[in-house]
Amino acid sequence: MINLINKLEKNHSLTIDEYEYLITNRNEESARLLAEKAIQVRKKIYGTDVYIRGLIEISNICKNNCYYCGIRASNNSCERYRLTAEQILSCCDEGYPLGFRTFVLQGGEDAYFSDEVVCSVVSEIKQKYPDCAVTLSLGERSYESYKKLYDAGADRYLLRHETADKEHYQKLHPQEMSFKNRMECLNNLKKIGFQTGCGFMVGSPYQTAATLAKDLKFIEQFKPEMCGIGPFVPHKSTCFASEKAGTVELTCYLLSIVRLISPSILLPSTTALGSIDPYGREKGILSGANVVMPNLSPFELRSKYELYNNKLSGGAESAANVAELKQRMESIGYKIVTLKGDFKKI
């Protein structure tokens, strides 16, 4: 085990079987060692800086029916909303003075957000806040569409691959969604020049150490600039309502491995991690994460973007309470910085 961890630290690469071994045979000692090395590596590149991103949930209207997701099209109990361009801009106006220099526009696959509408919002944000980055997370679109969004000024795009195992992918999604298209989208985003983010849920139904090993190999080979890894948490109105949630322990273990695979990756300590453990965010940072994404959406609409039950949106998860988040990060030896926080090429 120790040899494998040293090999990973040195080569930033293991075989799929070795990744699987690292997961299956994990114990407190391997977790401690991985976290220690992940923190060292992260400190060399990012010091103790923690980047903040203002998350604006622009629409919970979605044409898709991902089996795990609370805003899936066929969830009739979800009260739908979408933000206007003015509302999105005023979220940025609120976030800028709080120190946010990245705005993440995330939403379901809502046809209202055509290329024209998104491009116009992106260029308005970039005009008003030229020192800020705009990240989009609006699901699968065509190459041409992504290119237009990039040309309008969007800097980054998050599209979790969800799982790097085709059979597993089909167990999490209906027939009309395809693994092939998800991967094609990710390749297109990279080709166009976006700082691209992939990622997956930990503990999703049918996930195994073998599928996780494939996720790690995929990350090693795809070389994303960002990677979102958070626990799966069940939502009562989905097919997976009675499935078990992922654990903080395995999520943190994987965060450390991903940091060692890609030392300069932008790695969030996710909202889902904070939602299943009151110290989840801190535990993520102490495992090698270097980003947090507090919620900047209009307060009264936050509970409607319910991807899973008990999703946090208040307290230190709220952008308005960035002071609390600062304090919490300082208490573990890290500091929130007012920077765009781009991926550092090394």
State the minimum distance, in angstroms, from the CB of residue 294 to ligand SAM: 16
Question: Applying CB under 6 A, does 217 fall inside the site for ligand SAM?
Answer: no
Q: In this chain, which stretch among 41-49, 149-157, 225-233, 286-294 interacts with ligand SAM, using CB under 6 A? A: 225-233
Whichever of 106 and 287 has its CB closer to ligand SAM, that residue is: 106
> CA geometry: angle at 210 spanning 254 and 272, to 5°?
35
What type of residue is 132? C
Question: Applying CB under 6 A, does 179 fall inside the site for ligand SAM?
Answer: no
Strand residues in 138-219 grouped as ranges (E): 156-158, 195-202
Structure-token pair, residue 187: 């390749």
Whichever of 246 and 288 has its CB closer to ligand SAM, that residue is: 246
Question: Are the C-beta atoms of 95 and 52 separated by less than 8 Å?
Answer: no
Sequence-ordered list of residues with C-beta below 8 angstroms from that of 339, at least 6 positions apart, any chain: 49, 51, 101
Question: Are the C-beta atoms of 38 and 22 separated by less than 8 Å?
Answer: no
What type of residue is 37? K
Question: Are the C-beta atoms of 292 and 50 separated by less than 8 Å?
Answer: yes
Size of the site for ligand SAM (CB under 6 A): 19
Whichever of 148 and 161 has its CB closer to ligand SAM, that residue is: 161
Question: Applying CB under 6 A, does 101 fall inside the site for ligand SAM?
Answer: no
Question: Applying CB under 6 A, does 308 fall inside the site for ligand SAM?
Answer: yes
Residues of this chain, 314-333, that bind ligand SAM according to CB under 6 A: none
Residues of this chain, 113-142, that bind ligand SAM according to CB under 6 A: 137, 139
CA 150 to each of CA 2, 123, 130, 139, 271: distance values in angstroms, whole numbers, following the listed order: 43, 10, 15, 15, 26
Among 147, 235, 259, 302, binds ligand SAM (CB under 6 A): 235
* Residue of 104, 203, 111, 211 lying closest to 159 (CA atoms): 104
Question: Applying CB under 6 A, does 159 fall inside the site for ligand SAM?
Answer: yes
Question: Applying CB under 6 A, does 272 fall inside the site for ligand SAM?
Answer: yes
Query: How many residues appear in the chain?
Result: 346
Whichever of 132 and 233 has its CB closer to ligand SAM, that residue is: 233
Please report, as ranges, the residues that interact with ligand SAM according to CB under 6 A: 68-69, 71, 106, 108-109, 137, 139, 159-160, 162, 201, 230, 232-233, 235, 272, 307-308
